């Protein structure tokens, strides 16, 4: 991301999380309530663990917003960790002897490789930052992107496609249908699949295991022409893949019908082009997922993400202590059975960050009004092409 950039800081059991977002144009309507709505959505989902019973994530805005509108300066946010009260001495930044030292790395986590890379003998120094708790701030900052994109008529929402072996019905869901998935405990459009998914989650919990799954993010109202084919790093598929795979536990990304296309003939994969006097060029289908040659086609942008089962098992796998080199069962940290429904909201945030950057690259401008004017002129040009 070149125009729209953010960084986060903070540990899972530290005082809280901090985020700074640059590139937000002036004049975007933004309040704490807008951000808190997405933070609440991230905490929901059947199969979440005890941490969500402790935290009540709410944002504080420290810069970049005045009287409900962005100023054009960096937006600075914080979210406090309520669980810090239980870890105050263990996570203190002041000199002292740390307790709750971790020397038993968990398979599937960054514990061991992070300890080796940074020279830590207490693996808590790794797991505290590698924790998915960090994604709370990505979602908070993503809500700023949502507020910006919404002003341009762009809406981004997702839904669960599968949890474990249970798959939901798929289709070209409308925005209203995907929004209805918010009422589902597993954030799925297909109600019949929801019951089966919850039973699978219950079975995994009883056996001390975890479940992964897949989810889909769809962006509606995308203009033609975001992204570019002229350099590899400007292709939007690559930017989306990088952003989504940066989320902890994500292992695969596909655009449109993705992997399925590799088994089919070209005639069953590509989208026929259509033209009429009123709307100009369009597509008769959307197998490409709204992207051709690294550029948006004007059709809904569709990406799917594969999430591995969470690494922390209540019936842990074998590991070795980094100090004694003796075998142990891996350290058990409080965890979820599945976090696929919550990952949907994080995925939305990362897609919105990429799209906000692409919009700024395409249209430029320092204020919302300026960008909207340029976008309108572009839309008229596209229709008359």
Looking at residue 190, its pLDDT comes to 92
Residue from 121, 354, 355, 342 nearest 248 by CA: 342
**Helix H or strand E segment including 70:** strand 69-70
Choose among 211, 246, 214: nearest CA to 349. 246
**Confidence at residue 84, expressed as pLDDT on a 0 to 100 scale:** 93
Closest CA to 368 of 88, 127, 148, 59: 148
pLDDT tens over the chain, length 385 residues: 789 999 999 999 999 999 999 999 999 999 999 999 999 999 988 887 655 556 789 999 999 999 999 999 999 999 999 999 999 999 999 999 888 999 999 888 999 999 999 999 999 999 999 999 999 999 999 999 999 999 999 999 999 999 999 999 988 899 999 999 999 999 999 999 999 999 999 999 988 889 999 999 999 999 999 999 999 999 999 999 999 999 999 999 999 988 888 888 888 889 999 999 888 999 989 999 999 999 999 999 999 999 999 887 767 788 999 999 999 876 565 568 899 999 999 999 999 999 999 999 999 999 999 999 999 999 999 999 9
Rounded Cα distance between 164 and 109, Å, is: 20
CA atoms within 13 A on the CB side of 288: 22
Closest CA to 130 of 111, 151, 113, 158: 111
Cα 165 to the center of its chain, rounded Å: 22
pLDDT at 122: 96
Query: What local confidence, expressed as pLDDT, does residue 208 receive?
Result: 83
Q: Is residue 196 within 8 Å of 166, Cβ to Cβ?
A: yes
Torsion-angle region of 92 (φ positive above 0: left; ψ -120 to 50: alpha; else: beta)? beta
Q: Which residues, 6 or more positions from 265, have their beta carbon under 8 angstroms from its beta carbon?
A: none
pLDDT of residue 303: 97
- DSSP lists the bridge partners of residue 320 as 327
Q: Tell me if residue 109 falls in helix, strand or coil.
A: coil
Q: Can you give the pLDDT at residue 53?
A: 58
Looking at residue 332, its pLDDT comes to 63
Instruction: Give the per-residue pLDDT at 310.
Output: 87
CB 1 within 8 A of CB 344: no
Domains annotated for the chain, with CATH where assigned, are 5-383 (3.60.150.10)
Radius of gyration of the chain (CA): 22
269 exposure class (CB count in 10 Å sphere: 0-12, 13-18, 19+): middle
Q: pLDDT for 338-364, tens place per residue?
A: 999 999 999 999 999 999 999 999 999
Both tokens of 371, joined, read 């960008």
Q: Would you state the pLDDT for residue 262?
A: 84
Instruction: Please report the pLDDT score of residue 50 as a whole number.
Output: 58
Q: How high is the pLDDT of residue 331?
A: 57
DSSP output for 186-255: T--S-HHHHHHHHHHHHHHHHTT----EEEEEEEESPPTT-B-SSSGGG-HHHHHHHHHHTSTTEEEEEE
Collapse the DSSP code of 137 into the 3-class scheme (helix H, G, I; strand E, B; otherwise coil) and give the result.
helix
Helices and strands, number each (H, E), in the chain: 11, 17
* 274: β partners: 282
Q: How far apart are the C-alpha atoms of 25 and 148, rounded to whole Å?
A: 8
Tokens 């997922």 correspond to 289
> What is the pLDDT, as a whole number, of residue 257?
87
């Amino acid at each position: 991301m070149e125009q729209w950039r953010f960084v986060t800081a903070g540990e899972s059991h530290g005082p809280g999380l901090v985020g700074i977002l640059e590139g937000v144009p002036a004049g975007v309507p933004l309040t704490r309530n807008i951000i808190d709505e997405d933070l609440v959505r991230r905490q929901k989902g059947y199969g979440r663990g005890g941490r969500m019973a402790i935290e009540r994530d709410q944002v504080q805005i420290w810069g970049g917003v005045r009287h409900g509108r962005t100023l054009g300066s960096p937006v600075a946010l914080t979210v406090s960790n309520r669980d810090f009260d239980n870890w105050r001495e263990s996570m203190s930044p002041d000199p002292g002897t740390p307790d709750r030292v971790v020397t038993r790395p968990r398979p599937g986590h960054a514990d061991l490789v992070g300890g080796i890379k940074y020279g830590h003998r207490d693996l808590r120094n790794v797991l505290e930052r590698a924790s998915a708790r960090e994604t709370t701030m990505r979602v908070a900052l993503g809500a700023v992107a949502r507020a910006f994109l919404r002003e341009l008529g762009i809406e981004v929402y997702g839904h669960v496609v599968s949890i474990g072996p249970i798959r939901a019905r798929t289709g070209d869901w409308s925005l209203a249908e995907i929004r209805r998935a918010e009422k589902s405990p597993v954030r799925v459009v297909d109600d019949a699949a929801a019951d089966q998914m919850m039973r699978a989650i219950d079975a995994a919990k009883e056996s001390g295991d975890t479940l992964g799954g897949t989810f889909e993010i769809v962006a509606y109202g995308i203009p033609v022409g975001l992204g570019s084919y002229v350099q590899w790093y400007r292709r939007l598929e690559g930017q989306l893949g990088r952003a989504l795979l940066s989320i902890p536990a994500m292992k695969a990304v596909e655009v449109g019908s993705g992997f399925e296309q590799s088994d089919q003939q070209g005639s069953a994969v590509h989208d026929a082009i259509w033209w009429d006097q009123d709307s100009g060029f369009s597509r008769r289908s959307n197998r490409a997922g709204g992207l051709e040659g690294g550029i948006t086609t004007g059709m809904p942008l569709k990406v799917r993400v594969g999430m591995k089962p969470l690494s922390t098992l209540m019936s842990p796998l074998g590991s070795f202590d980094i100090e004694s080199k003796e075998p142990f069962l891996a350290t058990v940290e409080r965890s979820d059975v599945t976090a696929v429904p919550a990952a949907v909201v994080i995925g939305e945030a990362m897609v919105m960050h990429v799209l906000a950057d692409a919009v700024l690259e395409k249209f430029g401008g320092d204020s919302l009004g300026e960008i909207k004017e340029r976008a309108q002129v572009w839309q008229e040009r596209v229709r008359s092409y």
